[in-house]
Structure formats: structure tokens, C-alpha cells
């Protein structure tokens, strides 16, 4: 399951929040089309937060 965020900075904020809560997570991964942060819920279901880069042109 994935959740969209409004901007890249939101992923950094969520990364810090998850760390504060002791939730294991990936670093924010940047790709050509956007950025993602991956973590698991208490039932070990993988979740993802994603930001899509705006299209240019």
C-alpha cells in the first residue's frame, strides 16, 4: 500500500518521525520520477510513501 505526499520535504519529515518512533524504514530513495520511503506496519505489511516529481514541459 502506498501513500502520496505533497513534496520531497514531506518524505524527510516522515523519515525523521518514523525514526523518532523507532520504526525501521529505508532511507528516502530518489529516482528519476520521484522519491520513496518504505517501512512496515506492526503486522509486517510493507507500506510506502511516495512523491512524484512534477512534469516539466
For residue range 37-49, list pLDDT tens digits in order. 999 999 999 999 9
Within a domain: 57: no
46 found inside a domain: yes
Give the integer Cα–Cα distance in Å for 31 and 28.
10
**Tally of structural domains, the chain:** 1
CATH number reported for the structural domain that contains residue 21 in this entry: 3.10.180.10
pLDDT in tens, 11-39: 999 999 999 999 999 999 999 999 999 99
pLDDT band at residue 57 using 50, 70 and 90 as cut-offs: confident
**Looking at the domain assignment, is residue 12 inside a domain?**
yes
In a domain, 47, yes or no: yes
Q: Centre a 10 Å sphere on the Cβ of residue 36 and count the other Cβ atoms it contains.
A: 19
**Residue 24 belongs to domain spanning:** 2-52
Grid cell listed for 44: 509486517
Amino acid at each position: 500500500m502506498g501513500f502520496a505526499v505533497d513534496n520531497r520535504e514531506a518524505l524527510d519529515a516522515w523519515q525523521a518521525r518514523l525514526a523518532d518512533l523507532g520504526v525501521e524504514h529505508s532511507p528516502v530513495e530518489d529516482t528519476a520520477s520521484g522519491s520513496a520511503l518504505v517501512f512496515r506496519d506492526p503486522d509486517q505489511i510493507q507500506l510506502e510513501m511516495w512523491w512524484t516529481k512534477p512534469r516539466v514541459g
